[in-house]
Structures are given as C-alpha cells and as structure tokens.
Structure 1
Amino acid sequence: MRGTDLALSALVIGLILLSLAAGRSFLPPAALWQALSAGPSDGGLLIWGLRLPRVLTALAVGAALGLSGAVFQSLLRNPLASPDLIGITQGAALGAVAALLAGGTTAGLRFDTVAGAWAGGLAATALIFALSTSRRSGTEPRRMVLYGIGCGVTSAAGVEMLILRAGDGAAGQAMVWLAGSLNGVGWPEAALAMGAALPLGVAVLLGHRALDRMELGDDLARALGIRVAVLRPLLIVAAALLASGAVAITGPLAFVAFVAGPMARGLHRRGGPELIGAALIGAALVLGADLAARLVAPAAVLPAGLYTAVIGAPWLIGLLLGRIRRGTL
C-alpha cells in the first residue's frame, strides 16, 4: 500500500473513531475505550447498539459507491460515467421503492428491498448499454451518458408515480429514504451492507490489472492478453450490484460514486484507476456526511445525502467548466 493510501486509511480510521465518539453525548477517548471494551450487554449499548452499526454501514456503503464509480469511469474512459449520473442509481431506487411499497411498509430493511434494488440497477445498466452500443462502433461513452440521463429521469418519474399511488404513511417514509440517510440503521443493515460489499468489492479489486489495461483501449488490452469480452460484463455487473446494494440500504447518496474516483486519481497523480483510493475516499465521504448530519443540525436530523450533494454538485460544475475550456465537451 502506497503512502497516499496509508494517509487515506488513517483519515478513514480517524473518522470512524470520531463518529463513534461524537453525537448528542460526546465520549472522550477513555470513555469510548471503556464502552468498546464493555460490550453490548455491559454499559456499551450506546456504542454497540447505535453508533457502531451505523459507522460500519457508512463504511461499507461509501466504499461500495467509490468502487462502483471508479469502475464505470475507467471502463468508459469518461469521468461523467458514474452510476449516479447515468441512471443506474435511479434504476436501483425505482426497484427498491417498488419492493418497499409492495410490502405495505417502508419500516425496516428487508432482503426483498435489496433484491428489488439489484434488479432495478441491473435492468437500468442493461438498457443503457443496449441503447449505446452498436456493432460498428461498440460502446460510445458520450452516447451512454446521454441515454443514462434519460434513463435516470424516467426512473425518477417512475419513483414519483409509485409514491403518489401509495398511502400517506408509506409515501412519507419512502421520501425520507430517498433523501439518503443512515438514521435508524442497525445491525441487520450493517450485516447486509458488509456481506454484500465485501465479496463484490474483492471481486472488483481482483480485476484491477485488467481494468487498468482496458482503460488503454480494447485492442491494446487484447494484445496484452486481457479477455475484454468476458471481463468487461463481469466488472460492469459487479459495479452495478455494488451501487444498487448501497442504494437499497441507505437510499441514494448523491455524487459519492462520481467524486471518489477522480479524487483518487488526483491524489495519486496518475492516469490509471485507483480502486483502493476510490473506496477509501467514498468511505470517508459517507462517514463525514453522516457525522455532519448528526453534528451540524442535530435537532433537524438532516439527511447525509444533503451533505454529499453539497460536496459533489460544485465538483460536477467545475468538471464541466474545465472540459468546456479544453474543448472536450
């Protein structure tokens, strides 16, 4: 692990400890260590029952979103091709909301919610790639971004239609979930987030070498021994599942997947994909956003998605302005 990744790891560890200590009741280091040592049944309920599952969920969801964004941006060689900009997140949200409302309530996380999000995310991915791929020119990244925006708008309209047809209670809870939040997250959500993110994340990290070669172009990647026709669909499916699973657990967290990959490249000062760095930055963004949600306005309990949008929207505007100045947009 390089120095930049070590620094990012230290940042994530620091945010984890701060998230465990901070809240309406701030725990100094000695009290935090005592609560961690005490366990869930002996005075450590605040940490073990409330804060620790929330922190682990934020860690898994952020890493999953960072990895997913880095894979899509690298495969399509386009910084705009992240799942939250090309409609995959919105497709996952449509599937998750459909599953939530079909169950009659949005209280608590069920596995069918995750299955619905996975189905919606994969369906959106398949549709976008089918529309933007031709036999003559292959997959066109710009075309994919445009089709993805259209797919995202259509999926968002589908979500609104489902909510309008739902009862007041279920619709209100669905709207809160769509804002992106870790409020109410417990051990079931943490276990599901870690259980989904770890195997998919490991699979993506194992494909780092192939992803690095494919970023140079399909012909050169094939010349270097990379089985592009096999590995590209596998990486795309894994990245779509990572993003969709994260959406199912916390709701959409805007711009995390979009920002993490380019930030990692900038910090490492190289052109290739930085998957570990993207995962660490994604985790840090979600941990920081949730920490801000709990500390900046604790009475209002603003969603973490609001704070990720505050970071990501200016980044998107800056990226677009830079590409306009260089004549690449």
Structure 2
Amino acid sequence: MAGRAPRRSRWLTPSRAPGWVAAKSPTNEPYLLFRPSPGTSLLLHRRSALVAFGLLLMLCTVMVASACLGQTYVSPGEVWHTLRTGTGPHELVVGELRMPRIVVGALVGAALGLSGALVQSVTRNPLASPDVIGVGHGAAAATVLALATGAVASPGALPLVSVSGGLAAAALVYLLAWRHGMQPSRFVLTGVGIGVALSAVVQLYLTDSELEAAEQIKLWLTGSLNGRGYEQAEPLAVVLLVSVPALVWASRALGPLGLDPDTAAGLGVPVDRVRLGLTGLGVVLAAVATGAAGPIGFVALTSPQLARRLTRTAQLPLFNAALTGAVLLVAADLAARTLLPPLEVPVGALTSLVGGPYLLWLLGRRTATR
C-alpha cells in the first residue's frame, strides 16, 4: 500500500500568484505573505499586524479624547471643524494649545518606544532603557549647565543643547565600556555609573543656581508637554522620517542579534558593528525626544515589553513599540491635564509614578524565574 505523499510546507513553497497568502513558519507561527509581483514579497506576522491596527485605533481615540477634554470641553464635531477650517471659537484652545502638544506627545512617545526597543535588544535586558545608558542624564546635565550659566540666550536652542549632551554621554559610555568588543552587561553597568555621576552634577548646579533658574531647571527635569508647539514637533518628525531606512535595517538585524554572539558571528554577522549601529540609532532617537519634552521616564522601558507581550513575538517589534509609546504618552498627558483641575501635573512625574511599580514587578518576575 502506497504511503501518503508528504505535505509541502506553505512556508517553504508559498503560492507564486500575486496577492495575500497565509503561511506558517517552521515554529508554527502564522504569517501573511504579500506578493505584489512574482519578484517581490512582504512578510507580516499576523498577530503583529492585528495589534498594530488596534494600537492605531487606540492612538486615534486617545488623541481625539485629548483634543476634546480639559477645563473647556469641545465636542468632536467642533474639533474637526476647527482643524479643518482653522477658525472658530475654539481655535485658541484646540488649534494652538491642545493639538500641538498632542502631536509632540505622540512623536516623543514613538521615539522613546523605538529607542527602548533598540537598547533592550542590544543589551538583551528588559530592564534596560536609554536612561540606563546615560542618554537622559547627559541631556539633563547639559541643559542644566546651559540654564545655570546663562550660556543659552534663547529657549529655542535648549533642544540642541540637550541632544548634544545625550549624544556625548552615550559616546562616553561606549568608549569606557569598549574592551575588545562591547559586552551588554559591561555597557549597562558603565551607563549606570555615568548616569549617577551626571545626576550629581545636576544636583550641584541646582543648589548653586539662582531661584528663577532653579525653578526653570526643575520644571524641565520633570518632563512636560506644556507649552510645546509645532517647532518642537518638526525636527522630531524629520528625525523619525529620516530614520525609516535605518529602522528597516534594524528590524532585519534584530533577528541574528538575538542569537548567541558566537553563533551570530559564525553566520557572518558583524556583531559589534550591528550593536554599535543599533545603539547609535536608539541614542539619537532618545536624545531628540528628550530635547523636545525633557526627560520623561519609563516610557522607553515599558513600551517595548508591552508591545512584545501583545504580539507574542520572539524579538521586540519596533513598529508596535513605537505605537505603544505614542499611546502611553498621549494618554498620560491627558491624565496629567485632567486628573487634578486646575492643577496640571507634569507628564514625566505621572509616567514615573506609574512606571515605578511596573519596574518593581519586572524585577520580581525576573527574580522568581531564576
């Protein structure tokens, strides 16, 4: 009796006809394969695509709610009319006060989510974030130094100062951590040490500054979207758009980087150069986000892990991490504006208040699994 012919894997031999094709990986994960033409194809993880769609809907919902709610309620129809025509009785509230900070919040959250995903992938540590490697502390130290000494004449130059400080701190951490290669654990520990030293510098200048400068420094250090406008959103949007090709490369590089370093090197992957490139991209995104809104804690830490739990993928999903960060920050800013009216809580204080218990939960979970 002739045996049954072995079934062909749709993952290995998908249909060559143009259009969408359902496929499964060797680990039985469902994917969608899109073939616009016989020579090109696009592979999407099915659950990741559904999660991304849901996060986009959630982001739109939170942005609409943030535009409507506040000390003055504006209906969704009036918000749409104001944005479409640029005129009306709510132009000041919606067009000049709420919408710019909503856009800045979404862009800053997306940049922090991406930065956190890249840093955690390089260090292979879910407790790592750009703040751990000194980016936030470097940006804070440079900004505090500029404000305390009066070196910056115009407030518009502060984002450039903070970006320069963040990049300089990350470069110092990299140089000190490099010893015939970059070990993730040494990189993180060096970043923690540099961060502690820079925090001491910030406290020193706070104690020696004039009262007015100290108040301005403290407000910036808490991280806030209050008063942010499209002048902060434009450079951040440009950086994100320019980073798209690098992010496409990063999404492909994260797969081999998740393997053992010797195994990845045996497959021909330049591990140290890939780590340097991913870290540099994450540092730039975090520094630009910090320059736009100040140091906002825990968004870069929590967004990649939440996105990974939603998608259930082996590696951190960059696009979903960006969407998760945008949703978290816009929702946190809405809560910061409306929880204690007429008092407005800085969004950085609120994210730290919520992110602290999450960090403790992560630490407890890692300890329990050992």
How does the TM-score come out when normalised to structure 2? Answer: 0.81
Please tell me whether the aligned partners of residues 81 and 141 of structure 1 are also in contact (alpha carbons under 8 angstroms). Answer: no
Q: CA deviation at 1:114?
A: 2.5
CA distance in 2 between counterparts of 1:212 and 1:109 reads 42
Are positions 1:46 and 2:93 aligned together? yes
Match of 1:110 in 2: 156
Listed as ranges, the matches of 1:306-325 within 5 Å are 306-325=349-368
Identify the residue that residue 251 of structure 1 maps to in structure 2: 294
- Distance in 1, matches of 2:116 and 2:90, equals 40
**Pairwise CA distance, 1:251:** 1.1
The 5-angstrom pairing of residues 71-86 of structure 1 reads 71-86=118-133
- Which of 149, 152, 171 lines up with 2:214 in the alignment? 171
Q: Which amino acid aligns with 1:110?
A: G
Aligned to 1:95: 142
Q: Which residue of 1 aligns with 2:111?
A: 64
**1:170 to 1:40, Cα distance in 2 relative to 1, 3 A:** farther
Q: Percent identity?
A: 37
- Aligned equivalents of 1:166, 1:51: Cα separation in 2: 32
- What is the identity, as a one-letter code, of the residue corresponding to 1:156? S
Q: Deviations over 1:89-125 (max 9, x none)?
A: 111211222234444679x7423x2332222222222
The Cα shift of 1:219 comes to 3.6
* 3-state SS, counterpart of residue 127 of structure 1: helix
Distance in 2 of aligned mates of 1:267 and 1:176: 34
Matches within 5 A, 1:27-42: 27-39=74-86
Deviations 1:129-171 (A, max 9, x none): 3333322xx3333333322222111111111222233221111
Q: Distance in 2 between matches of 1:302 and 1:152?
A: 25
Given that 2:113 and 2:326 are in contact with CA atoms closer than 8 Å, whether structure 1 keeps it comes out as yes
Runs of 4+ in 1 over 6 A off after TM superposition: none
> Match of 2:116, as an amino acid?
G
Greater fraction helix: 1
Q: Deviations over 1:11-31 (max 9, x none)?
A: 111111111111111111221
Task: Compare CA radii of gyration and give the structure with the larger one.
Answer: 2
| Counterpart in the other structure of 1:304 | 347
CA contact (8 A) 1:90 1:152 kept: yes
Describe the shift of the 1:89–1:31 C-alpha distance in structure 2 as closer, same or farther (beyond 3 A): same
Contact 1:260 1:282 in 2 (8 A): yes
Range with greater deviation from structure 2 (80-89 or 167-176): 80-89
CA-CA distance at 1:75 after TM superposition: 1.0
**Is 1:20 aligned to 2:67, yes or no?**
yes
Q: Shift of the alpha carbon at 1:223?
A: 4.5
Please give the alpha-carbon distance, in whole angstroms, between the structure 2 residues aligned to 1:12 and 1:202.
Answer: 24
Separation in 2, partners of 1:201, 1:25 = 38
Q: Give, in whole Å, the separation in 1 of the partners of 2:308 and 2:239.
A: 26
Unaligned runs of 5+ in 1: none
Rounded to whole Å, the distance in 2 between the matches of 1:251 and 1:29 is: 30
Aligned equivalent of 1:212: 255
Displacement of 1:226: 3.7
User: Does the 8 Å CA contact 2:163/2:290 hold for their aligned counterparts?
Assistant: no
> Aligned-pair distance for 1:126?
2.3
Q: Does 1:146 align with 2:189?
A: yes
**1:170-319 to 2 correspondences below 5 Å:** 170-200=213-243, 203-319=246-362
Secondary structure of the corresponding residue to residue 243 of structure 2: helix
Q: 1:201 to 1:295 in 2, by over 3 A?
A: farther
Distance 1:61 1:4 in 2: 20
Q: Is the 8 A contact 1:125 1:240 kept in 2?
A: yes
Contact 2:182 2:272 in 1 (8 A): no
Name the CA shift for 1:168/1:231 in 2 (closer, same or farther; >3 Å): same
CA 1:174–1:265: 2 relative to 1, 3 Å: same
User: Once the 2 structures are TM-superposed, how far is the Cα of residue 215 of structure 1 from its aligned partner?
Assistant: 2.0
CA distance in structure 2 between the aligned counterparts of 1:93 and 1:83, rounded to whole angstroms: 13
Unaligned segments of structure 2, at least 5 residues: 1-43
Greater share of strand residues, 1 or 2?
2
Q: Does 1:4 align with 2:51?
A: yes
Letter in 1 for 2:246: A
In 2, the alpha carbon distance for the partners of 1:264 and 1:72 equals 15
